Copies of this chain bind each other. A is one copy, B any other.
Amino acid sequence: DKARRNAEGMLERFHKLGVQLRPHMKTHKTLECADIMTGGSRRCIVVSTLAEASFYADNGYDDILYAYPLPFDKVERCAELSERLSLFHIVVDNRLALQQLKKRPLKQGKIWDTSGVELTGIYAHCGNTYACQGEEQIKAVAQETTTIVLQFMEKLKAAGIQGVKSSIGSTPSCSHPVPDMAMLSEVHPGNYIFYDVQQSLIGSCRLEDVAVRVLTRVIGHYPHRNQLLVDCGWTALSHDGGGRLPTGYAIIEGHPELKLLSMTQEHGRVEPISGKLDIKQFPLGSLLTLMPYHACATAMMHPVYFVRSKGKVIDTWKPTRGW
C-alpha cells in the first residue's frame, strides 16, 4: 500500500508539472513495481544493468533507457536490444564510445546504421542531493542542476541542434521539484517506490512513507553484555550506511531506544542506546521489524519480496539479478 502510494504520488506530481516521469527500476527490479511506477503503461523506464533491460524487454516493456556509460564489451547486447525494441536509449560521454557504436551498424533500418549516431537527449543525475538535509537544501540543488541543464540546452540550440530531450533525476529532487523542472523533458527517480531511512533523513519523505522492512527474530539473550542477538546479518540488510545512525544500521520499528550495533554474516547484535536492556520485552523467538538505511542495498540481498497489504501477506514478487 505504501509503495503504491509513493508511486502514485510521483506520477501525479510530474503529471501536474507536465514532465514525463521515467522511473528507475534499479531499486526493486520487479515487474510488479514497474507496472505501478509506469501507471500500467509499461513504457518509459530507466535501468542500471543490461540484465534489467532484457528482463523488462522480455516482459513487454519498451522505451528503455540504459542509464550507464556504455561499457565497450556490451555494445553487441545494446545493439540487439536496439533492434528488438522500438526505443532503447544508451548513454555515452566520450568519443571512443561513439566509434564503438559506429562499428556495429544496426539492422532493420534503425538509426545508427544510416546516419551514424543520433543525439536524442542529455542526462544529468543530481546525486549531490544525497548530501542535503531538508526540503530547502534539496530544492537548491534541484534548481542548480535544472539551471545548468537548461543552459546547456540553450547552447545546443544556438549550435543548431534541435529536438534534444533533457533529463535530471534523483529521488530527493523529484520528491520536491522546483517550478523550473517543468522545462525539462523527463525526470528519472527510482528509490521513491520504497524510500528508506536515508531518504527520510535527507527530507525526501516522512519515516512513515518507507515501504520496506526486514523482519528478524530474536535468537539470543546476553544480559551480561546487555545485548540481544537477532537472525539478521549483512546478508539480509547489507552494510550500507556504515552503522552511523544513532540507531546503528537500521531503525527498529516501535523501538527507538534500541540500536542495531553490528552484524556478522548471519547475526545482528542489538542493544539499548543507553541504560539496561529490558529483556522480558523481547522473548526468544519474537520478531523485530527493521527499517533499512538504504532500500536499494537491502533489496539487493533478497531473492523475493513478501507483499503486505492491510496487515496480510498477499503476494510474493521476484526481482531480476545480475548484469
Contact = CB atoms under 8 A, between A and B. Distances in A.
Nearest to A286: B72
Given A220-B94, A303-B322, A229 B265 contact: no
A156 to B, nearest CB: 21
B265 A48 contact: yes
Interface string A48-71: 110000000000000000001111
A221 interface: yes
Interface string A38-56: 0000000000110000000
B322 A69 contact: no
A49 B94 CA distance: 46
Contact of A234 (B93, B127, B240, B285): B240
A297 interface: yes
Quickly give the copy total for this chain: 2
A90 to B, nearest CB: 12
B242 A284 contact: no
Given A26-B265, A234-B240, A239-B240, A284 B72 contact: yes
Interface string A267-306: 0000000000000000011000000000011001101000
Contacts of A35: none
B300 A321 contact: no
| Interface range, A side | 35 or more
A322 B48 CA distance: 24
A231 interface: yes
A238 to B, nearest CB: 7
B321 A303 contact: yes
B297 A234 contact: yes
Given A217-B73, A219-B70, A285-B73, A238 B239 contact: yes
A215 B44 CA distance: 32
A12 interface: no
B97 A284 contact: yes
Q: Name the 8 nearest CB pairs between A and B, nearest first.
A: A72-B285, A69-B219, A239-B239, A69-B220, A48-B266, A71-B219, A96-B284, A71-B231
